[in-house]
Amino acid sequence: MAQAVRLLFADPRVEVLERDSDVWVVSGVDPDRLASLVADAPSAAAVRESIDDVAEDAVVVHVAMDEAGPAAVDAYRSVVSNRNCYHCRAGDGTLVLTDQYRNAVSQVPAADRTVAETAVADHLLFRAPVAPTTYLAEIRALEHGTWVHWDLGSGERRQARVGTLAGDRDVDADRPAALGETLEAVLEKGSDGPSAVTNMLSGGVDSTLAGTYLDDAPAVVMEPDAPELAFECQYASEAVELLDADARAVTLREADYLDQLATSVERLGFPSHYSATAVMDAVFGTDDGRRYVNGEGADALFGLTGTKGFRAAARFDDLVSRPMTGALTSLPGSLGEYAATFALQAERARRRPSHPESFAQQFAFFTDPAVVAEFVGEAPVRERARRQYEYVADRVDGLADDPWDAQLELGHLLSFFAHNTVTQWRQLAYAHGKSLFAPFNTRSVARLSQSIPASERYADGHLLPQRSTTKYVPKRLLDRRLPAYDTDKPKGGGVFPRERFFESGCLEDVFDRYEPPSYVPASMYEGHVESWGPLTWNLVTWAVWRDHVLENDDLGVLDGTTEVWCDGDVQVDRAGDSGAEIRTDVQSG
């Protein structure tokens, strides 16, 4: 008897195609182009050979049918992708593939859910699992740039690498112009026209730059009442005025923060990494937009905070001998402090990038591995850091040869591949029947970034940190397109004041409401549960996830999800009725 296959796609723009007797599901920046590739290709193998040239950010699933039902399944995830494809077995043995983690969790009964062996270490180190693992042992994720094939008759499963990230052009001296051309082309592919999208306008460089290409698009701005974020709300107001945008505001009261966080985690199906997740969920839940443009992703491609200091440390290491460095670190005042900082950076730069205390790992993840080791042990920390490094290095061609440039490049690439910001925003949008487009998080923009030498990619050529500019390529482009915008103003980050929330605000009683995770050693309670510590936020989000997701047997498939049942025949339905504008085109080839 043939196995049943169930596809659960929450993307409102997903396309379902029936070609001969087979079924294809495509989700991407430009689903029509993906659908055309499927329609024109003579076979699934031909699609696999060509898809990397078409996919900006895509997931594609193919179910091969024979007389008895499903015979094989193929699943693809592009190498640059903030879309996900998860797979698991439902309680009745049905193979389930989905683009939303909550939907995957809903297919595994609560009594059968098992926390993955690596989940705790990954959550504490990176705040997200390293694919193909997820938080649950029963659910696996497609890796970036892979094609997986299941032969349902034999039970065999094969995986092949499809595509790597590499530079694809010679970028001349006018790099801002090259970014402008690339960004404009990507926005044309994915925005469905300015009037069809809403710009998520934070007032930072990236969302404002995107707004200069979306002349008629309305904007939505977030207005949390935390006073620490008042300057960022002001940035957003200024950007609205400069762009002359029709803006809508969504507020989030501090008093509602914990409840909104819990709701967002339940919709995601996994613990939230980012403190802004709660307000993003509020935006998708209350704003009346249908498709959103989000500027996340540019920093990891063109320059993260900390780049200038590391480049200064590299210059210092070239000019000053180690004995002299030791003498300088003992000097009083700022000179000794600078020397000590540069010496620490040099020590980290000399470690292998797979080392948990290398510069690349510390730059990307901000976690003290020694503290995590007190929770899970030193061996798991070393193994997961190595796995995280290998995952990224295997997907990028042409990494820098210079050891300092390589550390800086890998730190940025670890951020680009491992930080799941856009993944969270996208899956929250799906939960509300809406879609999200992140133009910087696309193959074209990532390849442009990789086409710039690593030594020149993340900051301009000034040697003195105070005269150098991080992320200079998008900043110089914005200077041209919107001269009145101040690209040199202090950077915001949308980071909520979690420590204050915990000590005297809305999270003050969080561990009364949610039992701390069972894996917290008694020796770590005082520093991480009874007071704010380096891993307190990780413990908060885990506790919320455990109560609202892991142990919740009432999780159902999200309303608006497109369901494709492949058993003896093919049936396409939609779960619930969210009012989402699901575009499900069933075509015969």
pLDDT band at residue 582 under the 50/70/90 scheme: very low
CB 572 within 8 A of CB 561: no
In 121-258, DSSP assigns E strands to 140-141, 146-151, 157-161, 198-200, 219-224, 247-252
For the ranges 243-252, 379-388, 429-438, 460-469, which has the lowest average pLDDT?
460-469
The pair of three-digit structure tokens given for residue 454, joined into one six-digit string:
């690593």
Q: How far, in Å, CA of 252 to CA of 254, rounded?
A: 6
Tokens of 445: 């923009």
The candidate with the shortest Cα–Cα distance to 228, out of 191, 166, 276, 272, is 276
Peptide bond into 132 cis (omega under 30): yes
Digit-coded pLDDT (tens) for 307-363: 888 888 777 777 666 777 677 777 777 777 777 777 778 888 899 999 999 999 999
> What is the C-alpha separation between 397 and 234, in angstroms, rounded?
41
Of 30-39, 71-80, 304-313, 529-538, the least confident:
304-313
**pLDDT computed for residue 586 by the predictor:** 39
What is the SS3 assignment for 43-87? CHHHHHHHHHHCCCCEEEEEEEEECCEEEEEEEEECCCCCCCCEE
506: which residues sit within 8 A by CB, 6+ positions away? 254, 255, 256, 257, 258
- What beta strand segments (E) does 225-357 contain? 247-252, 291-293
Q: Are 344 and 316 in contact (CB under 8 A)?
A: no
Say if residue 580's pLDDT is above 90: no
For 212-239, the pLDDT digits (tens) are: 999 889 999 999 999 999 999 999 999 9
Which residues, 6 or more positions from 378, have their beta carbon under 8 angstroms from its beta carbon? none
Average pLDDT over residues 106-133: 97
Show the CA angle centred on residue 105, arms to residues 99 and 111, nearest 5°.
165
Q: What is the pLDDT of residues 45-62, one digit of tens each?
A: 999 999 998 999 999 999
423-435 tens-digit pLDDT? 999 999 999 999 9
pLDDT at 36: 94
Cα–Cα distance between 105 and 87 in angstroms, integer?
A: 10
Mean of the per-residue pLDDT values of the chain: 92
Q: What is the pLDDT of residue 195?
A: 67
Q: Which amino acid is located at 179 in the chain?
A: L
Most confident option among 192-206, 330-344, 387-401, 575-589: 387-401
State whether residue 22 is helix, strand or coil. Answer: strand
For residue 492, what is the enclosing H or E element? none
Q: Which domains are delineated in the chain? A: 5-163+559-574 (3.60.20), 175-302+438-481 (3.40.50.620), 321-415 (no CATH), 498-550 (no CATH)
pLDDT at 12 over 80: yes
How many Å separate Cα 329 from the centre of its chain?
38
Q: What is the pLDDT of residue 146?
A: 97
Residue 2 banded pLDDT, cuts 50, 70, 90: low
Residue with tokens 């997200």: 128
